[in-house]
Amino acid sequence: MAKSYSTVAVIGGGASGILAALTAAQEPARHVLLLEKQQRIGRKLLATGNGRCNLSNWNATPDAYFGSDAAFAAPALQAFSPMDTHRYFSRLGLLTVTEEGGRIYPLSDSSNSVLDVLRFALERAGVDLRCSSSVDGIRRSGSGFQLDVNSEPLNADAVVLACGGAAGAKLGGSTDGYRLAAQLGHRRTALRPSLTRIRTAPEYPRSLKGIRVQAKLCLTQKGEMLATSEGEVQFTETGISGPAGFELSREAACGGNGLLLHLRLLPYEEAGVRTLVDEKINAYPALYASELFTGMLHNRLGRVVVKAAGIPGELPLGVLSETQIAAAVSCCCDFRLPVLGVDGFDAAQVTAGGLETGSFSPETLESRLVSGFFACGEVLDIDGPCGGYNLQWAWASGVLAGRLGA
């Protein structure tokens, strides 16, 4: 039997907290407080998608998500699908476009538009928005709760915890949510940074810094395949970044010895690359070997592949041996980088792990330990791949939690 709560406190003015507050405020007689510790709401939202906000993905079905019990996310994601996100934001006046891979962005290409329509909606709904309000404690008080907000007590009949996770510390990512939930008896799993840069042995990345390539990636450990991905990779000072690299960071974060990243640098099988290489050698036998991949790969990357194949760059193409040609083709189709680990929570987009979902009802997101206490978004042990999936989870779980069991 759903209870009617007259005062509801939502802790955290990020994506999930804003939608939880808007949903809870649909009951006109209810006083909904949105408590945000930063000076303004939605700071992380503004940084998403490189400032463009990849707000959802048409392929964000429940089977795409991760967590100790990923099926926990299904009821929320089914009740509020990418189509619902699309409709919801259209009703708020946001125009959107779909890009490659089903990624949904605002037509304006600016995350400000997303936050602006949400701010207008909060105002229209009469949500009592309180920024610079840090919640530092929570305890039971009668059948409701007492919060410590900037060391002052605040009472609420129900609480929605929407503090986000540890990722993106400079944008407000913190462990506050886990700490607050622990005060009510909730536990968390181990936390790992996900959707972050992979650090590789420094040999090549430094000379490749800034180069982008469309590649097929594969992560192996001692010969065993752990994960694959495909798409844009960007070489950085310390390793690789970009969506296809991010996809593998979850597994790469688990660490361990013998992790190897394999990149297929051209969209052809070995035989296809061999044909292209043979054509180049036949057409330009006097050209330096360092130019073997010129016109096929970024110049700097092409030279590094030749070097990685052990071929002296100043040899004329016409004198390359069969072994050298085969090595060059192989290096291009399977360019290997030993993995050292991943960048930490500061650089990560999302937290893998979070509050143990077994202690919450998947149908309502209400705590099984403390009635009237709900949680949503990244603070829970659910995370998604790169491409709008994490915001889709934040919106969907925010709406479900904001229904307060009704």
Q: Catalog residues that contact ligand FAD under the rule CB under 6 A.
A: 11-17, 35-38, 43-45, 47-49, 53-54, 134-135, 162-164, 167-168, 171-174, 176, 349-350, 377-379, 388-391, 394
User: How does 179-212 read in b/e, with b if 16+ C-beta sit within 10 Å?
Assistant: ebbeebebebeebbbbbbbbbbeeebbeebeebe
Rounded to whole angstroms, the Cα distance separating 258 from 222 reads 5
Q: Are 350 and 384 in contact (CB under 8 A)?
A: yes
Rounded to whole angstroms, the Cα distance separating 9 from 395 reads 18
Which residue, 356 or 378, is less far from ligand FAD as judged by CB? 378
Which residue, 37 or 250, is less far from ligand FAD as judged by CB? 37
CB of 378 to ligand FAD, least distance (A): 4
Rounded to whole angstroms, the Cα distance separating 359 from 355 reads 8
CB of 193 to ligand FAD, least distance (A): 10
Which residue, 118 or 327, is less far from ligand FAD as judged by CB? 118
Tokens of 383: 């995370």
For 161, phi then psi, to 5°, come to -90, 115
Which residue, 47 or 182, is less far from ligand FAD as judged by CB? 47
Which residue, 73 or 167, is less far from ligand FAD as judged by CB? 167
CB of 216 to ligand FAD, least distance (A): 23
Cβ-closest position to ligand FAD: 14
Rounded to whole angstroms, the Cα distance separating 163 from 134 reads 10
CB of 404 to ligand FAD, least distance (A): 17
Rounded to whole angstroms, the Cα distance separating 296 from 214 reads 12
Tokens of 341: 């680990």
Which residue, 84 or 334, is less far from ligand FAD as judged by CB? 84
Rounded to whole angstroms, the Cα distance separating 175 from 193 reads 13
For 216, phi then psi, to 5°, come to -100, 130
Name every residue whose Cβ is closer than 8 Å to that of residue 377 and which is 6 or more positions away in sequence.
12, 14, 15, 16, 17, 162, 164, 393, 394, 397, 398
- Dihedral angle sign, alpha carbons of residues 309, 311, 313, 315: negative
Identify any residues that bridge with 207 across adjacent strands, giving them in sequence order.
Answer: none
CB of 170 to ligand FAD, least distance (A): 9
Which residue, 261 or 396, is less far from ligand FAD as judged by CB? 396
Residue with tokens 């940074």: 193
CB of 289 to ligand FAD, least distance (A): 41
Which residue, 42 or 405, is less far from ligand FAD as judged by CB? 42
Which residue, 302 or 398, is less far from ligand FAD as judged by CB? 398
CB of 71 to ligand FAD, least distance (A): 19
CB of 174 to ligand FAD, least distance (A): 5
CB of 140 to ligand FAD, least distance (A): 18
Rounded to whole angstroms, the Cα distance separating 137 from 120 reads 30
CB of 224 to ligand FAD, least distance (A): 30
Q: Are 127 and 139 in contact (CB under 8 A)?
A: no
Which residue, 200 or 397, is less far from ligand FAD as judged by CB? 397
The secondary structure element, H or E, covering residue 104 is strand 103-106
